[in-house]
Amino acid sequence: MNKIRSVEFKNEQLHIINQTKLPLVEEVIITDDLERIAVAIERLEVRGAPAIGVAAAYALSLSLKNIPFQLRTEVFEKAFQRMAATRPTAVNLFFALNEMKNVFEQFKNEKDLYEKLSAKAVALHQEDIMLCGGIAQQGVKIFTKRSKVLTHCNTGSLATGGDGTALNVIRKAFESGLIEHVYVDETRPLLQGSRLTAWELNKLGIPFSINTDSASAFLMQQNKVDLVIVGADRIALNGDTANKIGTYNLAVLCHFHKIPFYIAAPSTTIDKNCSSGAQIKIELRDKNELISINGKLITNEDYSAYCPAFDVTPNELITAIVTEKDLFKPPFDLKHV
């Protein structure tokens, strides 16, 4: 089976799997326009912290394709600010943007600046592929037996530049004979679990079933969950972790039911400037994502709605954080990871 790649750079254009159309339609957006890529990130046509970072890196390089020398700085600065405004919570976005800015500052007077930026974007993409592989290698260590696993949101190839984070751990464990079944939270309001994770697990041939987010406690009560593993969009130095809304619920449930709760993410998701979860800015989404599905209203459009994209799980509820470097257990002190 061909590798799933959420984003690919081919013939100086970015190819993006339109995740808002999955699983019913497999559509690829092909563009070299920075604004189109920015909109794709905002619309969640491409989503997942690592994938956003990779897409943003390519967008910055493409912003300087065929730009006159005297306009380089103005164009790049505007492009940088546009991409930085797309999603505030995922730290990988800002890591990638700053890496690209460093290259720009170093080579902005060079004739081959565009080529240098493109090469850096490709390198960041390749690095993410390697990080995903490392996470899977480290993550399989959490399994001590053939297990029933529950996961939330989407953390596979669609969420990264490579093969995924938490879902890649599940894939590796399945290949090692350590997965009996995967329970997939549908992940309201945008259904990344039932649309995206289910689509990936189906392609991988891993046994799974979809459940409502609110069914997770009942599954645990019936002893149908051996462990929970999810991804992360930002990890503070003390281990507090921002992830898709509903993750905190799972951590609390795991604590009550004495079930291990794991985070899997690349080390680039650790924000070295963030000491605790109290400093993490939580993105609020448009209420239409909650009151409608595919543009069809499911409740009264006049109702007010609260629609945070993420929540923060306190470090004391996390059994371990899996990165490509190691398995980190509490008490967390991630300054030197």
Q: Using CA atoms, how far apart are residues 182 and 78, in angstroms rounded to an integer? A: 44
What CA–CA distance (Å, rounded) separates 118 from 104?
11
CB 174 within 8 A of CB 148: no
Cβ contact 205:172 at 8 Å: no
Tokens of 206: 């891993």
Report yes or no: 46 and 15 within 8 Å, Cβ to Cβ: no
Secondary structure element (H or E) that encloses residue 294, with its range: none
Please tell me which residue in 128, 233, 240, 271 is annotated as part of the active site. Answer: 233
- Asked if residues 291 and 298 have their Cβ atoms less than 8 Å apart, the reply is yes
Cβ–Cβ < 8 Å for 309, 244: yes
Is residue 211 helix, strand or coil?
Answer: strand
Spatial separation of the C-alpha atoms in residues 171 and 140, rounded to whole Å = 9
Residues in the chain: 337
Cα–Cα dist 293/192, whole Å: 12
Question: Residue 65: how many CB atoms within 10 A of its CB?
Answer: 14
CA 15 from chain centre, in angstroms, equals: 18
Q: How many helices (H) and strands (E) does the chain have?
A: 11, 15
Q: Which residues contact 306 (CB under 8 A, 6 or more apart)?
A: none
Active site residue 233: yes
| CA 309 centroid distance within chain | 12
Judging by beta carbons within 10 Å of its beta carbon (0-12, 13-18, 19+), is residue 16 exposed, middle or buried? buried
Instruction: Please list the active-site residues.
Output: 233
